[in-house]
Structure 1
Amino acid sequence: MRILVIGGTGFIGQHVVAKLAARGDKVFVPTRRLRHARDLMVHPTVTIMPGDVHDESVLNSLVQGMDAVINLVGVLHSPSGQPYGPAFDAAHVKLPAAIARACATHGVKRLVHVSALGASANGSSQYSRSKAAGEAAIAEVAAQTPELCTTIFRPSVVFGPGDKFMNMFAGLAKWFFVLPLAGSKARLQPVYVEDVAQAIVNCLDQKGTCGQTYDLAGPEVYTLGELVALAAKYSGHPRPVVDLPMGIGRMQAWFFECLPGEPLMSRDNLDSLQTDNVSDHPMDPILGVVATPLEAVAPRYLKSY
């Protein structure tokens, strides 16, 4: 198959691209920054394509001639807005809509889109509301294009080597003797990045996944505080986790937002924690994946701390 992987240089994307290449697919990965695609160049069937997918003319040229398109683009932070900020709007709403339209225009039969567990038009955070809007935009195009087979995935927090979740807290534990944390009682069901990637690849061969939305979550539910404590423990720096009142947590997040670079935590991230990120149907059997426990993987890649 000729498969365009948008967001293929990201955390999940690199695992998806590797699995597609391993089975012999011809994979095309667009990027605005070629240095981000260095690790993908080792795969002989992968082609790196310079281009800005947010430019619809570029996007249409990329999509043309593909058998399938996989969209993995996502951002965690955005300036505030209603119902969601501009960065969320661009990455989670406008881009998926443009991808779906391009697929419909050029006769691409298969579109796989990665959203997020807890996506809801009435969600507590801008992030969750924008993810829901992106799903709705794809559904609108699919309703008008019966030949377009779409599958949407909603992963929980994704862990694995190179993640920005467990690694972040392991890094903090190296420098701080106590880890103050707002929202520590929020419940999460983290899922292994290899399982997410395998589910995405497997669905391409499963006609029964057309028009479906699947949750992707791990086998265990943890509180955020428990996950932070595990990250500290596995890194070799066990630390007590102190629950902060949400008001103080928001002040802390606002401070992080004022610092240069990507914030460790934003106020919208805290808003997301107001809703438990868990699933009653964490891994549908049709996807052919058995969820991997956190404890089987995290100690290996966090020990470097």
Structure 2
Amino acid sequence: ADLTELVSSQAKVMLAGIDTLWHCSSFTSPWGTQQAFDLANVRATRRLGEWAVAWGVRNFIHISSPSLYFDYHHPRDIKEDFRPHRFANEVARSKAAGEEVINLLAQANPQTRFTVLRPQSLFGPHDKVFIPRLAHMMHHYGSVLLPHGGS
């Protein structure tokens, strides 16, 4: 289901009997409007979190992004709550806003355990960004370039 268009009655059916919800859906394209990023990464996250609480989901796992730490430097030992003065792009800004939504939901709803994970990348059968970029690199360079030669 497209979470940006999901209505309460559909969500109720989807969440019936669910103990743990993994919210991996997001808009992470290198292009798009602020409204598109906010709709998918903030509003849909808020609505899904609220519905999960309302219908008794015990665990809500939100997939965010480590891009919200990026500030054009190479920091080490940064704190969990670090945020740059200016986000590098709309993905980072909207994912940080989505995390704030999750933090507020967690504070207001202790009966639901909210967890935020920040993997570098996820992909699946409908990916139109990550795998095509890898394929382009393989075609153009003959291999995938890794930092420090992959060591």
Q: TM-score, normalised by structure 2?
A: 0.70
1:137 — aligned with what?
Answer: 101
Q: Deviations over 1:85-144 (max 9, x none)?
A: 122111110111111101110111101111110324741211100000111111111111
Identity of matched residues, %: 21
Q: Deviations over 1:47-72 (max 9, x none)?
A: xxxx9763333123211221110011
| Residue 12 (structure 2) pairs with residue 60 (structure 1) | yes
2:74 — aligned with what?
Answer: none
Matches within 5 A, 1:1-305: 31=1, 54-77=6-29, 78-80=31-33, 85-119=34-68, 120=83, 122-157=86-121, 163-171=131-139, 173=140, 232-234=141-143
Q: How many equivalent residue pairs? A: 128
| Contact 1:93 1:131 (C-alpha < 8 Å) held by counterparts | yes
CA distance in 1, matches of 2:101, 2:109: 13
CA distance in 1, matches of 2:143, 2:121: 18
Q: Deviations over 1:199-255 (max 9, x none)?
A: xxxxxxxxxxxxxxxxxxxxxxxxxxxxxxxxx2327xx9xxxxxxxxxxxxxxxxx
CA distance in 1, matches of 2:123, 2:37: 22
Q: Deviations over 1:149-200 (max 9, x none)?
A: 111111224589x8233223223x1xxxxxxxxxxxxxxxxxxxxxxxxxxx
CA distance in 2, matches of 1:233, 1:102: 46
CA distance in 2, matches of 1:134, 1:145: 16
| Contact 2:42 2:98 (C-alpha < 8 Å) held by counterparts | yes
CA, structure 1 residues 295+100, in 2 after alignment: closer, same or farther (shift >3 Å)? same
- Unpaired runs of 5+ residues, structure 2, are 69-82
CA distance in 1, matches of 2:4, 2:88: 31
| Contact 1:52 1:58 (C-alpha < 8 Å) held by counterparts | no
| Contact 2:22 2:60 (C-alpha < 8 Å) held by counterparts | yes
CA, structure 1 residues 132+156, in 2 after alignment: closer, same or farther (shift >3 Å)? same
CA distance in 2, matches of 1:52, 1:134: 14
| Contact 2:4 2:39 (C-alpha < 8 Å) held by counterparts | no
- Unpaired runs of 5+ residues, structure 1, are 1-30, 33-50, 174-231, 239-293, 297-305
